Amino acid sequence: MTKNEPIRIVLAKLGLDGHDRGLKVVARMLRDAGMEVVYLGLRQTAEMIVTAVEQEDADVVGISMHNAGHLTLAPLIVNALRDAGLDVPVVVGGIVPESDLEAMAKAGVAGVLGPGASAEDVAACVREAVATRGK
């Protein structure tokens, strides 16, 4: 990505979590913020997400979680990307208790957004994740 190119983000719901309304709203927020959004939708696997990141040359991955699987599934994506040799940050949105934020950061998650995050918060989190990747 050069300075003039928009950030390209892959958005997905990992596993069996079927709540996608919030992720669709986030997709719109990010498009409105000038980012290119690749929306994979529901019931994605880590392998499907990694393949999409490779094919789309994505700068960042956004995962929405509402099923209490964040401590298992978010590191799964971080590790799958790393194993594929991809330096692509992962941002998680959804229901993540504050007590789990440190564990998420230690697992390599670049940012966590909770319910009620504004469009500005969402875009800023994604931009920061991209700006600080590899550091």
> pLDDT per residue over 75-121, tens digit each?
999 999 999 999 999 999 988 999 999 999 999 999 999 988 999 99
Averaged pLDDT score across all residues of the chain = 91
Q: Which helix (H) or strand (E) holds 43?
A: strand 36-44
Find the domain containing 107 and state its range. Answer: 8-62+74-131
Q: How many domains does the chain have?
A: 1
Q: Within a domain: residue 2?
A: no
Q: Please tell me whether the overall predicted TM-score, pTM, comes out greater than 0.75 for this model.
A: yes
pLDDT at position 15 over 80 = no
CB 123 within 8 A of CB 29: yes
Contact present, 84 and 36 (Cβ < 8 Å): no
Asked, for residue 30, whether it belongs to a domain, the answer is: yes
Angle between helices 21-32 and 119-131 (to 10 degrees): 70
Residue 26 DSSP SS3: helix
Tokens matching residue 91:
């941002």
